[in-house]
Amino acid sequence: MTAFGGVFKGRRVLLTGHTGFKGSWLALWLQQLGAEVVGLALPPDTQPSHWDLLKLGIEEHQFDIRDYDAVQKLVAKVQPEMVFHLAAQPLVRRSYADPLGTWATNVQGTAHVLEACRHTASVQAIVAVTTDKCYENQEWLWGYRENDPLGGHDPYSASKAGAELVAASYRKSYFSSQGSPALATARAGNVIGGGDWSQDRLIPDLVRASARGESVEIRSPHATRPWQHVLESLSGYLLLGQRLLERKPGFTEAWNFGPDESGNQTVSAVLSRLTQSWGELRWHLTDAPQPHEAGLLQLDSTKARTLLPWTPVWGLDEGLRQTAHWYRAYQEKGEVISRQQLAAYVSAAASKNIGWTGAE
């Protein structure tokens, strides 16, 4: 079996944001696919960090994508064929505290990466990752589609909508001619999984509180989000990258990668389901005033399921079970089971004859 058509084996891949939660998992997967991965990111901002624990040994460069000269020099040196751009300021609440840094990283930083790619002839394909929060949220009961209006109340969401506009501008202005890089953007839901220690995210907050024997503070128990394991979104990014590298027409667009309807759950429902794998959890509501966050957000991934085609592998309950298992293994035994979980995910996908696995 050859995952993703074998297109990543031996490819020079530049991965920005490799020290982050999603980026570290993607670096692991790309390495196992045989890619020659080079990472560009800031040092990990949590201790512990999934990136440090993985010990992948890939070539990496730690500096800020807001430094265009440094970005340009690195891309010219690496001469990548494929670029996955994940580097970002990824947190809503942090964006309220640092709006200028958020805008500079997410919008100008994206422009820096794309501009450097524009001047590097080796680049064949680019997947720029944004977020489900890039849509102008109307609190609709149905999921947002790729052609719905972009927007954003908080600086993070608005900056990611801005990153989408930057990508669309580069695609139309510079990447539409024969032989130019194929550029697509990817928008995923709320990801869960082992190795995330970010501030102000539900499961990392639970992990920290549980380790201290404390009750975790819950801000918005009735907020509904599209929850999915991190490997679900990454399989979408890799499949999209495969299509771009194959130079097939019709893929240089925006793509949603969200769960099926069962993954659209409230925070309180996720907490309730998580207790089945984690055991008893203690949590309480806070009365403190909170900055605005969307109450209802869902994604429509019909386009990806139909045209790529991409299909989720683990449902929410399995994703939560795998997440709880990862943290228990780390807390109780000091084990990092990311490789085993990646293998289990690929095996589950193959058993379902999902196309990217190469299974027949």
Contact 258, 300 (CB under 8 A): yes
* pLDDT of 127 strictly over 80: yes
What digits encode the pLDDT tens for the residues 78-92?
A: 999 999 999 999 999
Q: Is-contact 293 154, C-beta < 8 A?
A: yes
Provide the sign of the torsion angle of the four alpha carbons 84, 235, 101, 181, taken in this order: positive
| Most distant CA pair in the chain, distance | 59
Mean pLDDT to the nearest integer, 332-355:
97
- Asked whether residue 65 carries a pLDDT value surpassing 90, the answer given is yes
Bridge pairing between strands 59-62 and 36-41 = parallel
Model confidence band, residue 295 (pLDDT cutoffs 50, 70, 90)? low
CATH superfamily of 3-191+228-261+296-315: NAD(P)-binding Rossmann-like Domain (3.40.50.720)
Running DSSP on this structure, what letter comes out for residue 130?
-
H or E stretch at 75: helix 68-78
Is residue 292 pLDDT above 70, yes or no?
Answer: no
Please tell me the predicted confidence (pLDDT) of residue 151. 96
pLDDT band at 294 (very low <50, low <70, confident <90, very high): low
**Whether the predicted pLDDT of 290 surpasses 70:** no
What mean pLDDT do residues 32-37 have? 98
State the pLDDT at residue 357.
96
Cα–Cα distance for residue pair 313/229, rounded to 1 Å: 9
Q: Which residues pair with 123 in a beta bridge?
A: none
pTM given for the model: 0.96
Residue 211: its pLDDT value, please? 83
Q: What pLDDT shows up at residue 210?
A: 84
Asked whether the beta carbons of 107 and 172 are under 8 A apart, the reply is no
Say which residues have a Cβ less than 8 Å from residue 321's Cβ, sequence separation at least 6. 276, 277
- Predicted confidence band of residue 188 (pLDDT cuts 50, 70, 90): very high
Structure tokens at 198: 């970010």
Q: Is the model's pLDDT at 195 over the cut of 60?
A: yes
| 249 or 289: which leads in pLDDT | 249
Structural tokens at position 92: 């809503």
CB-count exposure of residue 315 (10 Å: 0-12, 13-18, 19+): middle
**Tens of pLDDT along 201-239?**
899 999 888 888 888 888 888 888 899 999 999 999 999
The arithmetic mean of pLDDT across residues 259-286, rounded, is 86
Given this model, what pLDDT does residue 360 score? Answer: 54
Pick from 123-132, 229-238, 253-262, 291-300: least confident = 291-300
